[in-house]
């Protein structure tokens, strides 16, 4: 299928399509990440240039974000579940050895990506969860720490105070000034219900590919909820013969589509990273049938983003809606780029 046929059959009638620029051959190495990963791409590139392994590079990159208390979506400082407990998920894949490891609902460990890497290296398993994942991490020498920062705790308490107007939780401001204005409640709700993750993928000058995805998950989730990030094929997939894809956004949508795996498989069939990402977003959009997940135009009312790289060093960030960015280090410049997109964003999603 040529580019003209792809655009005509896959995107026509879907409001907007993003840039669909012709893929260019690029020099290796390349590192790509979600928009909160600009420091991660810089760190990973420095490590790759020293000749070190691509998985070591991307894990070291995302560790900077996992340990950053100001990032509400990853690791230490991430927003907690509905009980006020921070539960973390992460996965890694190492292309040269076809290895994979992941952890889910991990408590008390700042860097779940490092634990996931050890699951891959030290066990015959791929996924460890909950208490078992924590015990494994402690056996590997990690420290059990309180991951709930004061700032994240305050956000969680504000969320609890607005759950039910008939419960006994209140905002301190309400005791003095009365109930918050409707506009204030709406804005607070928009800030508090937070999706976020970091994915980072790299290919070195030899064509070796690795990837990592790590997150604190959906804010205020039901305890034990696991999204796409630690699930191989959903939140991350690496094939050293083809390329890699990682995802952020609504995890449940990625899970039902095996989205990252599908993006890589479309690249195997010859599509560029951008085309492959848009093809999968189109399929997810068409398969979103739940009324509460659709806007007035029948489109998904949630964000999805892919971070895609192939063995040649071609890359793309691809979003369900416009207005999103991704980080990339192309071996020369470390920068944020605008993501290609399927739909123009409405105000509710911007």
According to DSSP, the residues that pair with 199 across neighbouring strands are 213
Give the full edge-to-edge strand order of the sheet including 30-34.
127-129, 99-106, 88-94, 209-215, 198-203, 30-34, 325-329, 334-338
Torsion angle of C-alpha atoms 126, 132, 138, 142, degrees rounded to 10: 50
CB atoms within 10 A of CB 27: 11
According to DSSP, the residues that pair with 239 across neighbouring strands are 243
Of 191, 122, 136, 134, the C-alpha closest to 158 is: 191
Cα separation, 246 vs 217, whole angstroms? 15
Cα separation, 342 vs 331, whole angstroms? 28
149, 197, 213, 215: the catalytic one is: 197
Does the active-site annotation cover 197? yes
Contact 211, 188 (CB under 8 A): no
Cα separation, 190 vs 346, whole angstroms? 15
Residues 6+ apart with CB under 8 A from 81: 87, 217, 220, 221, 222, 223, 225
CA torsion sign for 298, 304, 307, 308 is: negative
Torsion angle of C-alpha atoms 49, 51, 54, 56, degrees rounded to 10: -100
* Degrees to nearest 5, angle at CA 215 with 209 and 219: 155
Catalytic residues: 197
């Amino acid at each position: 299928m040529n580019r003209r046929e792809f655009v005509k059959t896959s995107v026509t009638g879907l409001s907007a399509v993003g840039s669909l620029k012709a893929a260019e051959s690029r020099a290796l190495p390349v590192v790509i990440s979600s928009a909160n990963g600009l420091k991660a791409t810089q760190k990973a590139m420095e490590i790759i240039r020293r000749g070190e392994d691509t998985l070591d590079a991307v894990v070291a990159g995302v560790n900077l974000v996992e340990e950053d208390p100001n990032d509400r979506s990853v690791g230490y400082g991430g927003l907690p579940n509905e009980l006020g407990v921070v539960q973390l998920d992460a996965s890694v894949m190492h292309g040269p050895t076809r290895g994979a490891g992941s952890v889910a609902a991990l408590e008390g460990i700042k860097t779940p990506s490092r634990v996931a890497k050890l699951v891959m290296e030290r066990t015959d398993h791929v996924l460890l969860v909950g208490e078992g994942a924590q015990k494994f991490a402690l056996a590997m020498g990690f420290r059990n720490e309180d991951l709930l920062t004061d700032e994240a705790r305050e956000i969680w308490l504000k969320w609890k105070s607005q759950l039910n107007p008939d419960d006994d939780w209140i905002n301190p401001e309400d005791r003095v000034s009365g109930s918050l204005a409707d506009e204030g409640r709406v804005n607070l709700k928009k800030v508090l219900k937070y999706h976020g993750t970091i994915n980072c993928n790299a290919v070195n000058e030899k064509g070796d590919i690795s990837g990592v995805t790590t997150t604190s998950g959906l804010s205020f989730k039901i305890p034990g909820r696991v999204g796409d990030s630690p699930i191989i094929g959903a939140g991350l997939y690496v094939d050293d013969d083809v390329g890699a894809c990682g995802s952020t956004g609504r995890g449940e949508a990625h899970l039902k589509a095996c989205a990252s795996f599908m993006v890589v498989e479309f690249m195997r069939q010859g599509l560029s990273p951008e085309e492959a990402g848009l093809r999968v977003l189109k399929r997810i959009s068409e398969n979103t049938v739940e009324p509460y997940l659709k806007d007035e135009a029948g489109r998904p009312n949630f964000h999805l983003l892919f971070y895609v790289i192939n063995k040649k060093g071609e890359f793309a960030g691809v979003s369900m809606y416009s207005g999103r960015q991704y980080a990339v280090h192309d071996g020369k410049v470390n920068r944020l780029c605008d993501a290609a997109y399927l739909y123009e964003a409405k105000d509710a999603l911007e």
